Chains A and B, each alone.
Chain A
Amino acid sequence: MLNARLRRSGPLFYALVALALGAIAASGGLVYVRTRLTSLRYELGRRVAQEQALSLEVERLRVEAAALEAPERVEPRARALGLVYPRPEQVVAIDATGGAPHAVAAGQPR
C-alpha cells in the first residue's frame, strides 16, 4: 500500500528528496565557508600581530643602526685606528676637467 502510494507520487517524492539533499549540502557548504572564514580571520589576526612585532623590531634596529653610524661614535674608533683628518696643507683643489691644481698666490698664514 505504501509502495503504491510512493509509485503514485513518484516524481514529486524524488523531487522533494533531491531538494532536501540539496538544502543539506548547501547548509553544509555554508557552515564550511563560515567556519573557514572565521578560521582565516584568526589566522589573519595572528599574521597582523606578527607583522606588527616584526615592524617594531625593524624600527628598533633602524634606531640602533643610526646610532651606530653617528660620527660621535665613529670618530673615536677611527682615531684609535690611526686615522686623522687631513691637515689644510694636505688638501689640493683640482679641476674636474683634468686641469692643473689651482695656483695659490698666498703665502703661509701668519
Chain B
Amino acid sequence: MLGFLALFARAIQLQTLDATWLAGRARDQAQATVSLEALRADLQDRRGNVLAVSATVDSVAAWPRQISDRRAAAAALAGPLGLPSREIARRLDGGTGFVWLQRWVAPDAAERVSRLGISGVQLLPERRRFYPNGPLAGTLIGFADRDGRGLSGAELAFDRQLRGSSAEIPALRDARGHVLPDVSAPKRSRTGQAIRLAIDVRLQHFSEGALEEALRRTGARHATLVALDPRTGEILALAEEPGFDPNRFWLEDKALYRARAFVDEFEPGSTMKPFSVALALDAGVVRPEQVFDCENGRFRVGRKVIRDAHPHELLTVTDIVRVSSNIGAAKISAELGARRLVDGLRRFGFGDLPGSGFPGEVPGLLRNLRERQEIERANLSFGQGISVTPVQLVTAMATFANGGRRVTPRLLAARSDGEDAASEPPRVLSEQTTREVVAMLRAVVESGTGTRAALPNVAVAGKTGTAQKVKEGTYSQKDFIASFVGFAPAERPRFVIGVFIDEPQGLHTGGAVAAPVFREVAAYALDQLGSAAPVPAERPASVPVQTRAASGGNAG
C-alpha cells in the first residue's frame, strides 16, 4: 500500500509539478531543424542553353583528433583524392578541430572515400557552380565563389535574382537520431530566378575561335569582339582572347577576369570619324559631296602638324570617311566648332556610362573644349584626346544602324512578347543624315580602307581604326589598337560588330587586321541570327531579315 502511495505521489509530481519543465526538456532534446539551402539559379543564353548551373557535390572534411592513425588514413585517402599521402598527412597534422582535405570532389572519388569508412573523415555536401562551356564568355559570365556569391560579371550583376532564399523546416529527432519532418505545412526554399542573357552561345563560340585565330596570326596581346543588336541593344556576343575558365577561377591569372570591353578605355582613332562627320552633316555645315583640300597629307593647326597616312589633295566628305583622312576630318570639325562637336559626341553616349548594368563599366573620357582649342578639337575629330570602351563604340555605331536612334546596351535577352521593350530610344541624328553616313560607311567597305570586311552577297557598312597607343605620355610609333566596327546587312542591319586587336605585330592597320575578323564573324552571324534569334514582338523598328546559306554550304 505504501509503495502504491509512493508511486502515486511521484506520478502526481511528474505530471503536475514538474510537467512544464520536463516537457520543455523533452522538446529541446527532440527538436531539430532541416535547413533547405536555395539552389543558385541558372544563367542561360538567349536560346536557353545553360551557361552556369549549380549542383550539390561532396567535399571531404576531417576531424584530426578523432583519427586514431593519421599516417594510415593519409595513405588510404591518397588514391581517392588524387593527392600525395604526404600532403594529406601534413593537413591532418596541421589541423586542430576541423580541416578540409579536398572540396568539390568527383562523385566516384566521394564514393571511394565513403567506402573507406575512416572514423573522423566525412563527406559534407556543398553547392558548386559549374560553367559547362568552360572558358566560353568567361569574362561576361564571371563567377560565383564557393559560398554561392556572385563575384564578377553577370554572376555579380544578377546575384540577387540568381540566389533565391533559403528555408528551415522544424522537425523532431527520435532516440536514434532520425529526423522526422514536421508534417504541418513545410516551408520550401525558393530557388533563384534563372537569368537569360542576350548572348548567343554559338555566335560567342565562333567569335572566340575567330579571335583566337587572329591572335595567332597577328601575334597581338589581346583581342576583343562585341556584337550587338542595333534595334534592341542586346549584346549578342562579347568575346575576349585570352580568356579564363570560371570553373577554376582561383587558379587563373586575375588580370584575365577583366571584361575589357566594358572596363578598358582606349583612344579609338579613325573609328571616331563617322561621328564627327555625322554631326557636321546633321548641323548642316557640310554636305556629302562638298570638297575639302587635304593639303597633300600635311596640315598645320596652331603649333602642331596633322598628317594623313596617305597624302590626298581634294576629297569630298564621303571620300574623307572612305580613305580615312585625318586632315579632312579636322577641317570638317572646324566647320562644326568644338562645343557642338563635344555636345554631339555626348549624345552618342561618349563620356557617359553605357548603362548596361555590367559591374564596373566605365564612362570613358570626353573633355569639354573651348572654341579656341583648335588642336584638341582637330584631334578629337579623328579619335585622339578621347577615350572610349569597345562597348561604347559599338553602341554608338549602332545609332547609324538604327535609323539615328541610340539604344542602350543590354545584357539580358529581350522578351519575345516585347513586354520589357523600353520606350523608343532617343534620336541622335535625323534619318536623312543617318542615310548619308551609312552610304559613306558602305563606301569604306566597298572601296576604302575596309574592303577586307566585305561580304560577297551582303552589303556591309563600317569603319576602320588604327589608333596609336599612349605609352609614357606620348603616342607610340609601334604599338597600335587595330579596329573595325561595322554592321550588316547595310540596308536593314541585323547586328553591329566591333573587333579590337591590341598590339598586333607586323601588319597593324584596322583594315588589314580587324576587318577580316569582322567579315568571318559577320558571315556566321548572318547565317545563325538571321532567322533563329527571337525578335521582340511589336517593336516598331523591327524589320526581320532572314538569311540562307547558298547552295553547297553546310551550316556548322
Contacts and interface: CB of A to CB of B under 8 A. Distances in A.
Contacts of B452: 109-110
A90 B553 contact: yes
Contact of B547 (A37, A79, A91): A91
B239 to A, nearest CB: 13
A85 B545 contact: no
Contacts of A59: 39, 53-56
Contacts of A55: 56
Contacts of B492: 93, 95
Nearest to B450: A109
A24 B5 CA distance: 24
A86 B457 CA distance: 13
Contact of B132 (A67, A84, A108): A67
Contact of B459 (A44, A78, A102): A102
A99 B514 CA distance: 32
A4 interface: no
Nearest to A78: B556
A104 B488 CA distance: 12
Interface in A66-110: 66-67, 69-72, 75, 78-79, 82-96, 101-110
A66 B130 contact: yes
B24 interface: no
B414 to A, nearest CB: 18
Interface in B507-555: 519-520, 522-524, 526-527, 530, 544-550, 552-555
A98 to B, nearest CB: 10
B545 A96 contact: yes
A56 interface: yes
B426 interface: no
Nearest to A90: B553
Nearest to B460: A106
B205 A38 contact: no
A92 B457 contact: yes
Contacts of A95: 492, 545-546
Contacts of B136: 70-72
A89 B550 contact: yes
A10 interface: no
Nearest to A68: B132
Interface residues on B, range: 35 or more
B186 to A, nearest CB: 9
Given A42-B178, A70-B134, A86-B555, A109 B453 contact: yes
A92 B550 contact: yes
B201 interface: yes
A59 B39 CA distance: 10
Contacts of B556: 75, 78-79, 83-86
B545 A63 contact: no
Contact of B554 (A63, A75, A84): A84
B502 to A, nearest CB: 24
A54 to B, nearest CB: 12
B301 interface: no
B133 interface: yes
A69 B458 contact: no
A8 interface: no
Given A93-B547, A96-B545, A102-B459, 15 more contacts: A44-B183, A48-B181, A70-B134, A85-B556, A88-B523, A89-B456, A89-B457, A91-B523, A91-B526, A91-B527, A93-B458, A93-B489, A102-B491, A106-B456, A109-B451
Interface of B: 34, 39, 49-50, 53-56, 107, 125, 130, 132-134, 136, 172, 178-181, 183, 201-202, 205-206, 442, 445-446, 451-460, 488-489, 491-492, 494, 519-520, 522-524, 526-527, 530, 544-550, 552-556
9 contacts: A66-B50, A69-B49, A70-B136, A71-B133, A71-B205, A86-B553, A105-B446, A106-B459, A109-B519
